[in-house]
Amino acid sequence: MRHQILRRAILQLLYQRAVEAPPSLIAGVETREIVLQLDITVQEFAFNALYLDGKGLITNDRSSHVGDLQFNAIMITPAGIDVIENPDHMERMIPLTRHAGTRNRRLKS
């Protein structure tokens, strides 16, 4: 469940930043700022940012350095804003699951 909570926190942080910024100055948030504010590792951020990017909830200026994917200038997308502003969208896109093995137990029964 930690990853779902981190994904929601990343989206919320990006949403707040977009709301607070004047329209002409909306810019992406740097990875290191998100990592520091959420007190997570770069690896945790990269994993969850990859997921959010794949879902179309964030966008970023990506560049590749010797095979490593770098995330820079991360911004929330309109789809990400919809998810934050609508709890039903949030639950559908980033569900909070109690135990990943729950489905497996049902299959074995």
How many Å apart are CA 72 and CA 91, to the nearest integer?
27
How many Å apart are CA 32 and CA 107, to the nearest integer?
41
Spell out a b/e string for 27-60, using b for 16 or more CB atoms within 10 Å of the CB, else e.
ebbebeebbeebebeeebbbebbebbbeeebbbb
Domain extent for 92: 2-108
CATH of the domain at 49: 1.10.10.10
Position 68 scores a pLDDT of: 52
Over the stretch 47-67, which tens digit does the pLDDT of each residue have?
999 999 999 999 986 554 444
Position 60 scores a pLDDT of: 80
Q: Residue 42 has which token pair?
A: 């770069």
Grade residue 103 by pLDDT with cuts at 50, 70 and 90.
very low
Query: How many domains is the chain built from?
Result: 1
pTM metric for this prediction: 0.75
Position 61 scores a pLDDT of: 66
